[in-house]
A and B are shown apart, each in its own frame.
Chain A
Amino acid sequence: MSFVEYGDRIKDGDTAIVFLGHESMFPVKVQHGTVTQTKYGVIRHSTDLIGKKYGSKVTCSKGGWVFILHPTPELWTMNLPHRTQILYSTDISIITMMLELKPGSIVCESGTGSGSLSHALIRTVAPTGHLYTVEFHQQRAEKAKEEFREHGVEHLVTVTNQDVCKNGFGVSNIADAVFLDIPSPWEAIGHAKSALKAEGGRICSFSPCIEQVQRTCLAMEECGFTEINTLEILLRVYNVRTISLQIPDLGKATEDNSSTSFDSSNPSNQGSLCANLQQGTAQFKSGVPLREMVGHTGYLTFATKS
């Protein structure tokens, strides 16, 4: 396995995703002789995982089962150990497209944080591109380096431990795109400009507060960036449910009831869902929004250097 290449079978040293069902997953590092506890029982790596196909159902000791999935940046985003607040796939997708990333792109990123976006960027620019990521927090930088090594992508990424606002990205005139997720992005716009290729490139800054956006936009304008555009993207997830609504009793005679249009179109649901057989129910499928959703992650400001 690698995060930039699909593998068929699970090998020693792989990072795999254990899928327990219903959005419940966790990552596991596959190692000979190791065991992993789940609520369905124990998984023994040597016998239960190594050599099996990705996507297989693995039976645990208590008779329950889980699926083992091949890691992808998206699954990783949902399961990674948080060291900071992270970017989720919804924002990542629009960032990737608006920065026009593709195989071969050179990207600068700061800060690295938990590496959620980094993995997605690496996936997209592989096999010929490169990611230069700057993290001013030493432990986080080191942890990220370690993860990239474990995930088989270290050849595609350079982690630098410095302050991007003071010292920049450590590279100049080579990037096709720059991404900023730092508290004061306006202080790094100048460095971003010099990191971008002379012939131009794209920049994106992620900020939760509108005041940050304001200052960033001003800084971008001063630096001669064009096509400045601020967006917000929100994900709405729907649960698929079969809903049945009772037909109100308007006092119609009982004998008429059996021939109402609702009953005849839905003969299957009789009795099973409705306690009152006299009254019918109308059944339908619905996409129900979650009771609570993410209302705001951050504003995304894009611009072009040309």
Chain B
Amino acid sequence: RKIIFEKQWFYLDNAIGHLYGTTFEVTSGGSLQPKQEVEEATTETKEAGTDNRNIVDDGKSQKLTHDDIKALKDKGIKGQEIVQQLIENSTTFRDKTEFAQDKYIKKKKKKYEAVVTVVKPSTRILATMYYAREPGKINHLRYDSLAQMLTLGNVRAGSKLIVMETCAGLVLGAVMERMGGYGTIIQLYPGGGPVRAATSCFGFPKHFFDKLHEFPLSKVESLLSGTFSTETLPSEPEGNTPVEEESNGLGEEKQTALQEAEEEPATEASLEVSQAEEQETMDISAEEVELKENKEKGRKENVREKQKKQWERRKKLMETAALLREKNSDGLIVASKFHPTPLLLSLLEFVAPSRPFVVYCQYKEPLLECYTKLRERGGVVNLKLSETWLRSYQVLPDRSHPKLTMSGGGGYLLSGTTVVLDKGRADASQPEALKVEEPSAKRCRVEELPC
């Protein structure tokens, strides 16, 4: 299969059988030749200037023309030799300082020597890659913010976690990697099905998916109010789902959620397309393709098949609903394009006391509101709104400094720990606690006032 990467195309066949981390050189035929630690092409002339007082930018320092260089390339000459030629034909090279020479060589090497290293997928690699290449798809979640989420959420083997993300499945993948196939994950998804394009990049073994459950976000309210049934499946249009208006006093939030849900389908469709392209293994998309085919053909066999699948799906849904209903999850991770407040107020109901939760948002303001609402709701302590800055350094002898550019923003996190909510139920054993509650609420409010 032909693959294009950074304006180069090649076949991966030759890379099979090599260790991860092996570096390959791209040849003109598109195949790869392993290359490890070539002795630095030492620029034998250690001649160098001390400063640039005599270097004039007249645009004529390079004696090779564009056409010359192209000819060299077309001849299939090794990149290393082209770089050498460029150096030899540069009139100012000898006058440059040693450091500038170094920099010049590095720049040219980058351009003419096509080397590719094949590495093993990991959260580190994928999160860095997604942030650099497709930040929009992961809501600009920078990799250090993701790292924070995994730590603050105490993600580990054996937990029962709830994940709500619209980050192409990257957050889900990161969580799965940290859980190593131990424990349970319940992924809540908007629209017709969970997006797991990035998840499939991790190459997880099959058994990692055994305890991965999914549940439609649009069914959360009915699950909380106890009117949940599997009659209407999420594959049906959002608008038709009957939404129960009773309970919880969350009506307001729910409306926003609904509005957002209505805006959803358009973007969802495009996501679905990319999903279908990128991933081969996810049964959901396959299922949907099949559903469409069924309509076209309308054969009895397929209808039966469809019914069987629906039934299986319904069964899985019931299982997941049962898992959620236990309300004993070990944590909640949210990273989505939706407003975090309604998500959190509802989903925290499924989390056991004394468990961490983390919400990511690209913007700070929604988290401010979320913070306030959570304080009003109670049942949480240790609330913290934070952001991380990441700075990378160039470390070279006598040339160490922070890199010229740094990322402007990687999003914000709101984290905290759940505690027993003492509004009435469950905790009737502590009547005194209720009395003391009042002054504390006041105290919180006072602290929030400006000084």
Contacts and interface: CB of A to CB of B under 8 A. Distances in A.
Interface in A202-242: 210, 213-214, 217-218, 224, 226, 228-242
Interface stretch (A90-98, A141-149, A251-259): A90-98
Interface stretch (A70-78, A166-174, A187-195, A260-268): A70-78
B400 A210 contact: yes
B119 to A, nearest CB: 8
Interface stretch (A31-39, A60-68, A131-139): A60-68
A39 to B, nearest CB: 14
A6 B143 contact: no
User: Closest 10 A-B residue pairs measured CB to CB?
Assistant: A55-B353, A103-B180, A306-B21, A55-B354, A93-B151, A54-B354, A97-B147, A230-B393, A93-B147, A70-B354
Interface in A34-91: 53-57, 59, 63-65, 67-70, 72-75, 89-90
Contacts, number: 209
B16 interface: no
30 contacts: A6-B352, A6-B355, A19-B382, A19-B417, A21-B440, A53-B420, A55-B355, A57-B419, A57-B427, A74-B151, A93-B144, A93-B150, A102-B180, A103-B157, A103-B178, A103-B181, A199-B19, A214-B397, A224-B37, A230-B392, A231-B393, A232-B393, A234-B389, A236-B386, A236-B389, A237-B384, A240-B368, A240-B371, A240-B372, A240-B385
B422 A234 contact: no
B20 to A, nearest CB: 7
A68 to B, nearest CB: 8
B400 to A, nearest CB: 6
Interface in B327-359: 330, 352-356
A304 B440 CA distance: 51
Is the contact region of chain A dominated by helix, strand, or loop, or is it mixed? mixed
Contacts of A214: 395, 397, 400
Contacts of A179: none
A116 to B, nearest CB: 12
Given A103-B180, A210-B400, A230-B393, 19 more contacts: A56-B430, A57-B433, A65-B436, A70-B354, A72-B154, A73-B154, A74-B151, A97-B124, A97-B146, A98-B147, A213-B393, A231-B391, A233-B388, A234-B389, A234-B391, A238-B385, A238-B386, A242-B449, A299-B393
A218 B369 CA distance: 48
Interface string B421-432: 010000100101
B221 interface: no
Nearest to A200: B21
Interface of B: 19-22, 37, 122-124, 127, 143-144, 146-148, 150-152, 154, 156-159, 177-182, 330, 352-356, 364-365, 367-369, 371-372, 381-382, 384-395, 397, 400, 402, 412, 417-420, 422, 427, 430, 432-433, 436, 440, 447-450
Nearest to A216: B395
A287 interface: yes
